[in-house]
Amino acid sequence: MDKSSLFHQFVTFTATVHQVTHELTQNVTVANITPLQYKILEYIKVSQPVTPTEISECQHMSLPNTSRELRKLQEQHLIEKYNDTEDRRKQYIRLSNEGDKMMEEAFACVEERFLQLIQHATQEDLKDIQHALSILEQKVFHQQD
Amino acid sequence: MDKSSLFHQFVTFTATVHQVTHELTQNVTVANITPLQYKILEYIKVSQPVTPTEISECQHMSLPNTSRELRKLQEQHLIEKYNDTEDRRKQYIRLSNEGDKMMEEAFACVEERFLQLIQHATQEDLKDIQHALSILEQKVFHQQD
DNA sequence: CCTATTACTTATCATTTGATAACTAAATAA
DNA sequence: TTATTTAGTTATCAAATGATAAGTAATAGG
C-alpha cells in the first residue's frame, strides 16, 4: 500500500468535501447569520453545552473573536450563557429556543439537499456509506485532544 | 436503514473533516498567501490547466473576485496565464515553476502531518481507509456538474 | 496572603473576502 | 452586419474575519 497515493486521494477527497458541504449549506439560514456564526451554532447544536474556550479551540479562532461572535449571537437571542456553579469564571453556552428552532430548520434544509445527493443509493449503498464514514472517523479523523 | 441518522453522522463527519484539514494546512505556506489563495493554488495544482471560470465555479466565488486573486498570484509569480489558441477570450492558468515548487513543499508538509494522523494504521487499516474514501467519493460526494 | 494562571471581555485596527457596476474584447447568432 | 452572449478585467465599497493589547474577575499555587 502506497501511503503517498493515499495522501493524494485524501487531498482530493477533502477538497470535494469542502465543495459539497459549501453547496449544501449555501443560503440555508433565514436569520442574519454569517458563515462563521453558522459554524459556531452548528457546533453548539451538536455539542451543547460548550464553553467559549472549547468553541475557540474547535473553530480555531482566538478567544476575543469568539467572545465577539457569541455576543452578536446572544444579541440576536440565538444562544444563552450561564455560569458554572463551581468555577464562576467558566461559562456554558447553549442554544436558545429560538436558536434551536433556527438550527433545526437549517438542518432540515441541509438534510433535504443531502437526501437528493444520495437519492439513487440503494439500501446496500447506505450501509456502505455509513460504514465508510465510521471507518474514516475512527482511523483518520479521530480527534486526539 | 435510517437516512436521518445517516445525515447526522454525515454532519458530524464533515465538521470533523473541516477541523482536521484546517489543522493539517495551518501555517504550511512560506510565501505570503491567504487561505483563499492557498485553496485556489491547491485546485490549480491538482486540476491544471484550469480557466478562471472553472476556478470561480469550483471555489464558489465571483469572476471579478477570482480575477483579483489570480492577479495577485501572478504578481507573486506563482501562476502563469496563457490564452486558448482557438477561443481567444479563454485563458488557461497553470502553476509557474516557483508556484509548483511552493505547492510541492506545502503538500509535503501537509503529507507529513497526515502520515502522523495515520501512523498507527496497519496495512489492513490503510486498505480500509482507501476503500472508504472511494465509496464516499462515488456514492455521496460525486460532483454532478 | 500574595502571586500566577485561567476564563473571558472590550476595544481597536488591519486584512481578507464578498458584492456589484461598468468596462473590453472575442465569439456566436440573427 | 448587427445584436447578443461569453470570458475576463478593473474599480469600489461593505462586511467578515483575524490579530493584538489591555482589562476584569475568579481560581490555584506557593
pLDDT tens-digit series, residues B100-114: 999 999 999 999 999
What pLDDT does residue B143 have? 62
- The partner residue sitting opposite A10, judged by closest CB among B1, B114, B141, is B114
Among all residues of chain A, which has the CA nearest to that of B132?
A: A132
Which span out of A4-13, A23-32, A126-135 was modeled with the highest average pLDDT? A126-135
User: pLDDT at position B93, please?
Assistant: 96
Strand partners, B91: B83
Q: How do the domains of chain B map onto residue ranges?
A: 25-139
B66 touches strand D (CB under 7 A): yes
**Of residues A70 and B3, which shows the higher confidence score?**
A70
Q: Taking all residues of chain A, what is their mean pLDDT, rounded to a whole number?
A: 91
**A82 within 8 A of A74, measured Cβ to Cβ:** no
Q: Give A 19-78 residues with CB within 8 A of chain B.
A: 19-23, 26, 39, 42-43, 46, 58, 60
Cβ contact B141:A16 at 8 Å: yes
Residues of A in contact with B10 (CB under 8 A): 114, 133
DSSP state of A80: E
Please, which pLDDT band fits residue B23 given cuts at 50, 70 and 90?
A: confident
pLDDT mean over B33-40 = 94
Q: In this predicted structure, what is the pLDDT of residue B1?
A: 66
Question: B23 and A60: CB-CB below 8 Å?
Answer: yes
In this complex, the residue of B17, B110, B131 whose CB is nearest that of residue A17 is B17
pLDDT at A32: 85
Nearest alpha-carbon partner for B42 in B15, B63, B21, B23:
B21
- Nucleotides of chain D within 7 Å of a protein C-beta? 6-12, 15-22, 25-28
Domain B25-139 has CATH 1.10.10.10: yes
Q: Are B53 and B43 in contact (CB under 8 A)?
A: no
Pairing of the two strands B79-83 and B91-95: antiparallel
Å separating the CA of residue B56 from the C1' of nucleotide C17: 14
Res. A72 pLDDT band, cuts 50 70 90: very high
Residue range A102-139, pLDDT digits in tens: 999 999 999 999 999 899 999 999 999 999 999 999 99
pLDDT value of position A127 = 94
User: CA at B32, C1' at C13: how many angstroms apart?
Assistant: 20
User: Contacts of residue B135 in chain A, CB cutoff 8 Å?
Assistant: 128-129, 131-132
- CB A117, CB B137: distance < 8 Å: no
Which amino acid is it at A116?
Answer: Q
Architecture of domain A30-110: Orthogonal Bundle (1.10)
Percent of chain B with pLDDT strictly greater than 90: 68
Write down how long chain B is: 145
What is the predicted pLDDT for the residue at B22?
86
Mean pLDDT value of segment A14-41? 87
Question: Can you read off the three cell numbers belonging to residue A136?
Answer: 474514516
pLDDT for position A145: 42
Instruction: Compute the nearest-CA separation of B113 from chain A (Å).
Output: 10
pTM of the model: 0.89
On the question of pLDDT at B144 being above 70, the answer is no
pLDDT (tens digit per residue) in A34-54:
999 999 999 999 998 999 999
Q: What is the pLDDT of residue B137?
A: 93
Q: β-pairing, B91-95 with A79-83?
A: unpaired
CA–CA dist B10, A7 (Å, integer): 22
β-strand partners of A73: none
pLDDT tens-digit series, residues B79-129: 999 998 888 999 999 999 999 999 999 999 999 999 998 999 999 999 999
